[in-house]
Amino acid sequence: MTTRVALIAIIVEEGSSTEELNRMLHDAGRYIIGRMGIPYRAKGVNIISVAIDAPQDVISSLAGRIGRLTGITAKTVYSNVVSGDDEPEGGKGKDAATHI
């Protein structure tokens, strides 16, 4: 399976969809490298970044479903790091940093 490393940027402007957002992220947990949430109280929004290593169709599907939630915007940035079945389990090899 070929996977890509990407970052999904999420802006939550309305809290009514946060339960569904958390369910979607939980369901994609096997692909998520890490996530960070920042409440920006002065503007009344929450900013979430999700680092993910998954097949491209999984990434685009997840970001699309998130972006369709009420009050939530999502955009994806893809890295040039692509791996296939020949990569070592749990990593991209010792030279992964050279691809950044």
Scan for tokens 């999420």, then name that residue. 10
Residues 6+ apart with CB under 8 A from 50: 7, 8, 10, 25, 32, 34, 35
Distance in Å from the first CA to the final CA of the chain: 21
pTM exceeds 0.85? no
How many angstroms separate the CA atoms of 50 and 35, rounded? 4
Residue-wise pLDDT for 78-90, tens only, equals 999 899 865 545 5
The 3-state secondary structure of 26-37 reads HHCCCCEEEEEE
pLDDT of residue 85: 67
pLDDT digits (tens, 9 = 90+) for 16-61: 999 999 999 999 999 999 999 999 999 999 999 999 999 999 999 9
Task: Look at residue 81 in the predicted model and tell me its pLDDT.
Answer: 85
